[in-house]
A = this chain, B = another copy of it.
């Protein structure tokens, strides 16, 4: 599983495997890769009595991004968030302007698929597209319902 490939990847790049690195990666696996910020990872570990300093968490998530285990995200709140990279399951996000909840959109009809032609066009213009980031913003179903009752 993930932890083994971390060991392998670290060795290949002449980094060292440490308990802290394993623990940080495990947080993302155990939480089903919620969109966690560094602070949250730190608190999660604290709550499980696992001692890792905040600086190490910051350094480790950065490293995990570099190694391709995590993806760095931003949702307009002044915090970086991270999620597990899952190559077969790319997804977009829907961010509710009312409650702030972030939904993952994993539908078969992925925006990535829909945008394929446009990405191709960019390539013909010399843009080598490696990544695509699509975010929808608006009001989520829950907030729409609430709004109807309350107002």
Find residues 100-122 in chain A having any chain B CB closer than 8 Å to their own CB.
103, 105, 107, 109, 111, 114-115, 117-119, 121-122
A5 — which chain B residues lie within 8 A by C-beta?
Answer: none
Most chain B beta-carbon neighbours within 10 Å: one of A103, A122, A136: A136
In this assembly, does A30 line the interface, its C-beta being within 8 Å of a C-beta of chain B? no
Q: Which residues of B contact A109 (CB under 8 A)?
A: 117-118, 121
Most buried by B among A126, A127, A144: A127
Q: How many copies does the complex hold?
A: 2
Nearest Cβ in chain B — how far from A146, in angstroms? 12
Which residues of chain B come closer than 8 Å to A119, judged between CB atoms?
Answer: 136
Across the interface, A105 reaches (CB within 8 A) one of B122, B133, B137, B140, namely B122
List residues of A whose CB falls within 8 A of some B CB: 72, 74, 76, 94, 97, 103, 105, 107, 109, 111, 114-115, 117-119, 121-122, 125-141, 144
